[in-house]
Amino acid sequence: MTKETQFTLPDFRNLGILLRAVLALQLYGLLAALVNAAELASVLSVFFSYAAYLEPPLLCSVLILYLIAPSLNSLPTRLGLAFILLISMLCSGFWQVLLEWRSAETELSLPRTLLLAGIAAALILVWFDWRARRLSPALAEARLQALQARIRPHFLFNCINSVLSLVRSSPERAETALENLADLYRGLMADNRQLSPLGREIELARAYLDLESLRLGERLQVDWRIDSGVEAASRQLLMPSLVLQPLLENAVCHGIEPHPEGGRIGVDIFKRDQQLNIVVRNPRHAEAPLRPGNRMALSNIRERLALHFDAEARLSAHPVGDEFVVQMVLPTK
């Protein structure tokens, strides 16, 4: 089975995954209530009776999967899937046996309970896999490449012109610029489906800004504010590759380049409540509306954050006074 077609195991340490599993089973109970209720008015009462039956094994399964998630992710995919199904069925079977022991009257037999638990767990796993494929890098990368196809030639042309102007007057700066350009394009051509250290992403972002400063000169001012603790752990903190550099590219293209006087970009990176916060600010002018390319880049980054971190990461962008502020929040666990 190829890497592209391999079934994806959900991360049961992810809050979004756990919440979706719970909601999916509640929907399963609601559909069962709609089918079995004698009349529409009794659907809610039937649903609550089903929920009382479904919740204990569901919570037991979720707790066990949360505790063993690191070991589960290290197993081969088929074995991991088998363990998930087995845990779901055992928890449901245990609850069925407990109910039968307390009261001989139960609507479902043990074999039927095990079968339904396995089917429900399998359907939820298929849904998680479908969602992961829908958010998979195949689509996100295509959009990213479409955006970069328009940016790269223009950016590369400007960089080459800047380097040529420095070859005789300042050969050392020209050499440094070429090294930055090579480093940046090496990052652009790398596999951006994997997580990358924060330190590496900062290096790429600085390389990009150094290249832009050759063209924009003093019009481009950048304030970096990185917490000492974050800077010390920057090689251990992971994030999707090439999400910081596009934010800075947007800030330059939409906040600095169109205005003759230039401006100042602020970059704040800090930890708060076990979350990594990255805030990028750039000047905003009321007469300069947000361009479509900006929205495309932000949408692409949101998709990639959802792919890697689900509901535990978010990206917000909004004007604040005379600035445009983009904040990215990532889990650090």
DSSP 247-284: HHHHHIIIIITTSTT-EEEEEEEEEETTEEEEEEEEE-
Domain ranges in the chain are 15-134, 137-331
Give the pLDDT band of residue 157 (cuts 50, 70, 90).
Answer: low
pLDDT tens digits, residue range 207-217?
888 888 888 88
Rounded to a whole number of angstroms, the distance between the first and last alpha carbons of the chain is: 31
Task: Give me the mean pLDDT over the 120-132 stretch.
Answer: 84
Domain 137-331: give its CATH code.
3.30.565.10
What pLDDT, on a 0 to 100 scale, did the predictor assign at position 151? 47
State CA 331 to chain mean position distance.
10
Q: How far apart are CA 143 and CA 247, in angstroms?
A: 16
**pLDDT band per the 50, 70, 90 thresholds, residue 223:** very high
Q: What angle do CA 65, 91, 99 make, to 5 degrees?
A: 150
The SS3 of residue 3 is coil
Asked if residues 280 and 326 have their Cβ atoms less than 8 Å apart, the reply is: yes
Residue with tokens 């590759």: 241
pTM score, two decimals?
Answer: 0.62
pLDDT reading at 293 higher than 70: no
> Residue 149's pLDDT band (boundaries 50, 70, 90)?
very low
CA proximity to 237, closest of 281, 193, 269: 269
Pairing between β-strand 220-226 and β-strand 263-272 as defined by DSSP bridges: parallel
Q: Which of 67-76, 164-173, 226-235, 314-323 has the lowest average pLDDT?
A: 164-173
Is the pLDDT reported for residue 292 higher than 60? no
How would DSSP label each residue in 103-155? -S--SS-HHHHHHHHHHHHHHHHHHHHHHHHHTSHHHHHHHHHHHHHHHHHHH
Q: What percent of the chain has pLDDT over 70?
A: 83
